[in-house]
Every structure is written in structure tokens, then in C-alpha cells.
Structure 1
Amino acid sequence: MVVLPPKKKRAHWGIYVALLPLALVLGAFQYYPALSGIWYSFWDWKPGFTSTFTGLDNYVRMFGDEIWWKSFGNLGIIFAFSVLTWVVPLVSAELLVSLKSERAQFIYRTLLIVPMAFPGVVTALVWSFLYQPNNGVVNQILRVFGLGDFAQNWLGNPELALIALLFIGFPFVAGLPFLIFYSTLKNIPNEIFEACALDGVGRVRRFFAIDMPLMGRQVQLLLILVIINTLQYGFVAYILTHGGPDNATMVPVLRMLNQAYDGQAWGYAAALSTTLFVFTIVLSAIVALFRRRDTTTNVKGI
């Protein structure tokens, strides 16, 4: 019997060549700016002029920046609020999956998804008109129902400004969490739901025993996305409040931009950006590792 030598795997050079332009574009427009930001965080960076190496001075300055650390307190509130808003899309997805009519599901699903197509800046500006202290819709509704005493300058009150920003987008159903929850529930075989019905398992018990465990990976993904989006939060606050009043809506991204463009402290802003990048990587890795450990424990238990 003649034993033939194993065939050598051919290198698919065409694939590597095809991916090379993508790698070059990513390197030029994504990785280079990020790495240069880390590099300039150790300098008194003056774009277009001679820069002086300062070592860790920018990071030492950061530790004494009270506004910077206060902005992280605001991020904690934003993160907690973002997670709480999952309740509405989760309940909506559960109700939508329960509809027996596919046509009805399609109609309601479309109505819930269409608002995602609205530009974020338009949504922010519309809500700024709703929050106007004199003729804003929110205060007008309060006055109509005899609650005029509760009318506020919502974006001008330091105690309410952050909460007012967080309520932009109410009732929070039109978004990525709804799509993820709905697609996960939709992919659960109907046989499982039928077996639960035959065994007399109620909706609440089925939700905690079947639906939630099957959405573990999706919840992990959403947590990572919420961490990233929270640390990068600043678009709405920049348009409506610029971090005020009295830094009540200040977030790290706005602090970084203020130091760069208003204070011309580009090196210090690069240090803040680098710190924000490290926080994003570390927190996302913790969530990913925690889920992986939990999955491994469950497999061993089985």
C-alpha cells in the first residue's frame, strides 16, 4: 500500500492581498490617531508648533482635576439609567412575540423600529423645545393638569438637568435593546413554549427560567455596548447644555473637548482621552470575562 504524503495547504494569497487595502485604511484612520493620542499624552502638545516632553505631568494634573472626576459620577448615573431603560424594550419584545398574528408582529415591530432612523441631533433639538421653561410642551402639560407649580427650567436647574437629558428618547423602546431582545425571543423554538404551556408554567416563571437564561450572551453584549456608549456619552449634553449648569451635566468627553478646544491644552486632553480608552477596555474585558467564567461554571455543573 502506497502512502501518499499529505497535501500542503495552499496559501490563499489573494485573500491577504484583498484585505491589505482595508488594513491600510484602518491603520491610517483608526489606529494611527489612537496611538498618536497616547503618544502626545506625554507631551505639552501644541499642534503645528514645537512640543515639549512632559512625561507623566498630564496624568498628575488629571488626578487633581475635580471636574474630571465629578463627570465620572454623572457617568455612573447615566449607566444605571441606561440599564434600567432595558425594562421597556424587554417587556415590549415579550409582548410582541406573544402575538399569534405574524402580520400584527410585523406592523408593531416596524412602528417600534422606525424612530431609530431619526437623526440624533433632530431628536435632541425637538426635546430642547419640549423642555423650554416658558412655552415648552412639558410645562404646558403640567399647567393644563393644574400642576403648574411643578413647571421647571428643566435644562437650567442643576438638580434636574442631567435627569432631563436622560429622559430624551422616552419611552426608550425604539432602539438596539429591543431588536436584540426580540430577535433572541423569536429564535426560541415554539416547542419550548408549547411544552411550558402543557406543564402549566406561567409567563413570569417561563421568563426567569427560560427566556432570561437564553438571553445571557445578548445581555453581555448589551452591557459592553452600554459601557462603551456611556463612556463616550456627550453628544446630547454638548448640544443642549454644554456640560452645565454648574457642571451638572459634565461628562468626560465634554471635559476632554473643553480642555482641547477652549483651554488649548491638547496634551492634557490626550491624557484624558487615553484614560477614557483604558477604562473602556478594562470594563468591557471584565464583563466579557465574567460571562465566560459563568458559562464555564454552568457547563462543569452539567
Structure 2
Amino acid sequence: MIGRKAPPGRRRIPWGVYLVLLPTFAALAVFAYYPALSGMLHSLYEWRPGFTSPFVGLENYVTMFGDDLWWASFRNIGIIFVWAVTLMWVFPLLAAELVMSLSSERLRFVFRTLLILPLAFPAVVNVLLWQFMYDPRDGVVNSLLRAVGLDGLASNWIGDPDTALTALMTVGFPWVASLPFLVFLSALQNVPAEIYQAAEVDGAGRLRRLWSIDLPMMLRDVKLLLVMAVIAVLQYGMQAHIMTKGGPDNATQVPVLRMLDAAFLDTDWGYAAALGTVLFVLTLAVSVGALLAGRRGGRNARA
């Protein structure tokens, strides 16, 4: 029996090479697939780890629909998402444009390194630093306001329900040391120099070049960032947990924190599993939708 030939331009890889991937799939099965499937299963029970857990069917999901705090948390991540794809993209884009405008390759390398170096620091350290900066008495923010005579603007930034969410979203300002900066910079580096030369001959200024060349050329990268932003926002919770625990007065409550509170404060593990399952399904739907859209876009481009 004659085997199928590999598509032109592709080398056939011996099947034995795929055995190298087995440890990776085994790790995924243990640390990714099993926890997800276990959570789905336990969401149908009044789960009490170590004790008898009666089957309750969809009762946990019915409870979720009446959980006002759960739905309010989606309002907060909606605000976070809008913030993440506007202001938190504008500054990295401007920084990437400024780096690429430098004529010296050495200067580009120096500034690129300085701007991405903070990514090497653990995210928790950055959050703790900003928590100290927001301290109402000794924090840097209030100290600067008092130093310039603006004592009336000093506030308990993460202790006031009116400012807590904005204070959380401002963490990391100006957000240059981030994935969007790397993506924008990489996209700009891939624009052929001939296009810029032609634009210069036509007398296009920096703003015209941004709107007519740079943004259209990085459209595919923006789509990728958009999908990753949705996934990241659905999983957002580390900063809020460290700095506010979802407070004050639930002003910074997000779905991940609501799930953790249900598990560790209310000890309602079955309900927490149901909330986790919903987040998992939402994240999976966004990921699969992005993959399908990417494949469809690729076929259209080839057509």
C-alpha cells in the first residue's frame, strides 16, 4: 500500500520524532486537562473535599444566575477591558513609533532594551510597589501631591470605592514594558523600508504615515492582541487580590475573585467549580473563535 505523499514544500517527519512530544502531552493532561475536567464534574455536586458530596445537577449554575455580585464583577472587567485596549495600547504604540523613528540602529537597540527591561521583574513585585505608592500616608502619589501644594487631591486611592478600580487599572503606567509594545515594535520592524521611502517621496508626515501605513500593516497583530486581551481580562485577578481583595465595597470585584471567595471564604466548592467552569468555557470559546477566524482569514487571503 502506497502512503500519502507529503504536500509540496513540506518534509515528511518520521513518526518516531513525535514521541518527543509525549512528555509535553502528559504534563498537559495532568496539569491542564484533568483540573478542567475535574472542575466541570464537581460543579454538578455539593462538593465537600474529603467528605461525601451529594449530586445536585445544575443547581450551582441556577444559583449563579441569581448571584448579583458575580454579574457585577463582569461590569468591572468590562471597564478593565476597554481601558486595556485603549490607553494601555496607545502608550506602547507611541513608544514603538518613537523607537522606530530613531535613525541610529544602536540607539534603537538601547532604547528598546531599556523599555522592555522591566518585563524581567516579577509581576508581583510591580504590584506590591504600586500598592506602596498608593499608601494614603507615606505613598509616593500623595507625597508628590502634598509637595506641590495639592493636598486636597490626596486620597486613599485603593481604599475609596470611587477611585479603587481606576487605581488598579493605572498600575504599571505608562504600560510600555508590555506585550503590546513588543508586538507593535515587531510589526513596525517588518514593514518594508521601500514603503516608507515612497511615503517620504510623496511628502507624507508622521501622522499620515501612522494612519495610512503603520496601522493597516499591523492589523493582523492588533487582532491577535485583541483576542489575548479578552483572555487576559477574563483571567484577571492577581492585582485585585493583592491590593484590594475585591474591595472596598466590592468596587474591584472581578469574576476570578468571586470564584476564590466562593471557595475559600464561603467554602462552597461546588459553586466555585461552577463559576470556574463558566470562565473556562468563555475563555475556550474566545480562543477557538480566534483560531477559526484566523484560518478563515488565511483561506481568503490565499484565494
TM over 0.5: yes
Identify the match of residue 21 of structure 1 among 9, 17, 23.
Answer: 23
- Confirm whether residue 262 of structure 1 aligns to residue 262 of structure 2: no
- Confirm whether residue 274 of structure 1 aligns to residue 274 of structure 2: no
Q: In the alignment, which residue of structure 2 is the partner of 1:73?
A: 75
Offset, 1:119: 1.1
Q: Which runs of 5+ in 1 are unaligned?
A: none
Q: In the alignment, which residue of structure 2 is the partner of 1:232?
A: 235
- Confirm whether residue 31 of structure 1 aligns to residue 29 of structure 2: no
Q: Distance in 1 between matches of 2:212 and 2:301?
A: 14
8 Å Cα contact 1:158-1:248 kept in structure 2 = yes
Report which stretch shifted further, 286-295 or 136-145: 286-295
What code does the residue aligned with 1:13 have?
Answer: W
8 Å Cα contact 1:177-1:222 kept in structure 2 = yes
Q: Distance in 1 between matches of 2:195 and 2:167?
A: 42
Q: In the alignment, which residue of structure 1 is the partner of 2:169?
A: 166
- 2:250 aligned counterpart, secondary structure: coil
What code does the residue aligned with 2:212 have?
Answer: A
Report which stretch shifted further, 19-28 or 261-270: 19-28
- Confirm whether residue 127 of structure 1 aligns to residue 119 of structure 2: no
- 1:152 aligned counterpart, secondary structure: coil
Offset, 1:7: 6.5
- Confirm whether residue 56 of structure 1 aligns to residue 58 of structure 2: yes
What code does the residue aligned with 1:116 have?
Answer: L
- Call closer, same or farther: CA 1:53–1:209 in 2, change over 3 Å: same
Offset, 1:98: 1.1
Q: CA RMSD in A?
A: 2.1
What code does the residue aligned with 2:191 have?
Answer: I
- Confirm whether residue 208 of structure 1 aligns to residue 211 of structure 2: yes
Q: In the alignment, which residue of structure 1 is the partner of 2:49?
A: 47
Q: Distance in 2 between matches of 1:7 and 1:77?
A: 55
What code does the residue aligned with 1:210 have?
Answer: I
Q: Distance in 1 between matches of 2:78 and 2:123?
A: 22
What code does the residue aligned with 1:174 have?
Answer: A
8 Å Cα contact 1:256-1:273 kept in structure 2 = yes
- 1:35 aligned counterpart, secondary structure: helix
8 Å Cα contact 1:97-1:185 kept in structure 2 = yes
Offset, 1:236: 0.9
- TM-score where L is the length of structure 2: 0.92
Offset, 1:282: 2.7
What code does the residue aligned with 2:246 have?
Answer: G
Offset, 1:251: 0.5
- Confirm whether residue 192 of structure 1 aligns to residue 195 of structure 2: yes
Offset, 1:12: 2.5
Q: Distance in 2 between matches of 1:169 and 1:132?
A: 16
Q: Provide Cα deviations, 1:47-90, integer angstroms capped at 9, x if missing partner.
A: 12111111100000000001100100000111011111100000
- Call closer, same or farther: CA 1:138–1:45 in 2, change over 3 Å: same
What code does the residue aligned with 1:233 have?
Answer: Y
Q: Distance in 2 between matches of 1:173 and 1:255?
A: 30
Q: In the alignment, which residue of structure 2 is the partner of 1:112?
A: 115
8 Å Cα contact 1:161-1:249 kept in structure 2 = yes
- 1:158 aligned counterpart, secondary structure: coil
Q: In the alignment, which residue of structure 2 is the partner of 1:182?
A: 185
Offset, 1:41: 0.8
Q: Which runs of 5+ in 2 are unaligned?
A: 6-11
8 Å Cα contact 1:113-1:175 kept in structure 2 = yes
- 2:249 aligned counterpart, secondary structure: coil
Q: Distance in 1 between matches of 2:53 and 2:66?
A: 23
Q: In the alignment, which residue of structure 2 is the partner of 1:245?
A: 248
8 Å Cα contact 1:227-1:284 kept in structure 2 = no
- Confirm whether residue 152 of structure 1 aligns to residue 158 of structure 2: no
